[in-house]
Amino acid sequence: MESIAQNPWAALAYLVAGVCFILALRGLSSPATSQRGNRAGMIGMTIAVVTTLVTHVPRIAPPCPTGAICENYGTPVLDTLTLVELLAAIGIGAAIGIVTARRIAMTAMPQLVAAFHSLVGLAAVLVAGAAFLNPGAFGIANDGVIFLQSRIEMGLGVAIGAITFSGSVIAFLKLNGNMGGKPILLPGRHVLNLGVLVAILGLIAYFTQDQSPWIFWTVTGLSFAIGFLLIIPIGGADMPVVVSMLNSYSGWAAAAMGFTLHNSAMIITGALVGSSGAILSYIMCRAMNRSFLSVIAGGFGGDAGGGASGAAAVDRPWKRGSAEDAAFLMSQAEQVIIVPGYGMAVAQAQHVLREMADKLKAHGVRVKYAIHPVAGRMPGHMNVLLAEANVPYDEVFELEDINSEFAQTDVAFVIGANDVTNPAAKTDKSSPIYGMPVLDVEKAKTVLFIKRSMGGVGYAGVDNELFYRDNTMMLLADAKKMVEEIVKSLD
């Protein structure tokens, strides 16, 4: 096996791949350049995979002819069998990825991301396990004794990978509806979590002095357990932050395994994913008024007392409107701000919503879209859906760029966005979402709010007092059907 130090071309190829990954992150920072960023990432990964195959597939000497002097006979060639096995594995993985990407609905994208994060974590655990069982094959041991730095990398890699795997599995189950979205609060969970984390760190330190198998596998088992314990206390409303946090964990796990495998591409990629995921988690925490440290500790938001406000207060007076009412109000407006949320994603209403916006613009109405950072169940969920419907990028605005415009807006059209429009976040200190920045839709002259029924609540489990404001008109129906009715009325 040829090392990178012996092959400067491989080092150069990995450097080019790293640059491509950086360009990919830069491109993905904006919807307008996201396709370019995706292409850069694909090119970088192709370069990294091909380089790894070329430099790491074993070479074997050709068979020695009978009667010949076989010492140093012939030029070593690639081990064809190993190459075929690797290409077959890549082909199977590529087929699964292509089929999944083509079939997955946009509403299921958050749980798909969580599932993929779990696979990254599991891969890190398997690589660490293989390296521990056969360190000589990885070049990290001398006479069976694993090098000190490799033990540190291996211990951290298997711990972070196991936490990522089990935590992502729980996040997937919550997002997919297989587990309830409410926090599962274990008695003394903070003490339990802290104890397990201290035990993991202590065993990793001990592993640097003693490579006994029981230490390594105990670290692995405890790490699987703490991933489970950290995520189950987190409620469904906080899942966007959890997804970005697990994304960061998967990156650090990959970086740790990159050191074990002596693969600079994995180190670069893992560090980029880990650091960008941590930055994104911090941004999400600010958008939800959460503490970054409480995200890492797990169970943030679980102690909030307002979440018990549960069922909507349907005994309060509210106004119901029709598609015809909504069409008339918006067609007479100078400006309409559309606020999409997860309800739009569930109904797959983004295409007909863009059609409605086009008809409003034909009536001379100025149309804008307001996106909350945590609308939906993962960062950027609404941006992706609107881009899928070919909504112009210059009509889409983030919270801080458009919040001041609601007071001068004739109609705020809210489609399936609940918690991120709840005024209680600014006024009710007992609410679990108190302090979370929200869109100031209540300041618009008229608020049209599409919702299936008055009996449900948002993902945070609290009632939205916006429903009962004098300037709010409730449009109770499936989001897609209601918008289709509005489009017909506009005609």
* Domain map (residue ranges) of the chain: 108-303, 312-490
Helices 264-287 and 34-56, packing angle to 10 deg: 150
- Contact criterion met (CB below 8 Å) for 287 and 372: yes
- Contact criterion met (CB below 8 Å) for 253 and 161: yes
- Contact criterion met (CB below 8 Å) for 229 and 170: no
Give pLDDT tens digits for 43-98: 999 999 888 888 877 666 666 666 555 655 555 666 667 778 888 988 998 899 88
Q: What is the pLDDT of residue 158?
A: 93
- Contact criterion met (CB below 8 Å) for 275 and 406: no
Q: Is the dihedral of CA 160, 163, 169, 171 positive or negative?
A: negative
Rg of the chain, C-alpha, whole Å: 27
Compute the C-alpha angle 392/395/396, nearest 5°.
Answer: 100
Contacts with 268 (C-beta within 8 Å, 6 or more apart), sequence order: 14, 17, 18, 21, 258
- Contact criterion met (CB below 8 Å) for 448 and 411: yes
Dihedrals phi, psi of 451, to nearest 5 degrees: -155, 145
CA 280 from centre of chain? 10
The three state secondary structure string of 144-167 is CEECHHHHHHHHHHHHHHHHHHHH
157 by DSSP, 3-state: which? Answer: helix
- Nearest 10 degrees: Cα torsion 400, 404, 409, 413: 30
> Is 419 an annotated catalytic residue?
yes
Contacts with 388 (C-beta within 8 Å, 6 or more apart), sequence order: 106, 350, 351
Q: What is the pLDDT of residue 361?
A: 94
**Helices and strands, number each (H, E), in the chain:** 18, 10
- Residue among 210, 238, 394, 419 flagged as catalytic: 419
Give pLDDT tens digits for 365-423: 999 999 988 787 777 778 888 888 889 888 999 888 999 999 999 999 999 888 889 88
What's the topology of domain 312-490?
Answer: Rossmann fold (3.40.50)
Q: What is the pLDDT of residue 414?
A: 94
Count of beta carbons in the 10 Å neighbourhood of residue 490: 21
- Nearest 10 degrees: Cα torsion 100, 102, 103, 109: 70
Dihedrals phi, psi of 366, to nearest 5 degrees: -85, 125
Whole-angstrom Cα distance, residue 126 to residue 124? Answer: 6
Q: Which ranges of the chain have pLDDT less than 50?
A: 1-5, 300-314
Q: What is the pLDDT of residue 338?
A: 95
Note the pTM of the prediction, 2 decimals: 0.76
Q: What is the pLDDT of residue 340?
A: 93
Whole-angstrom Cα distance, residue 233 to residue 193? Answer: 11
Distances in Å between the Cα of 18 and the Cα atoms of 21, 28, 257, 285, 328 are: 5, 15, 16, 28, 54
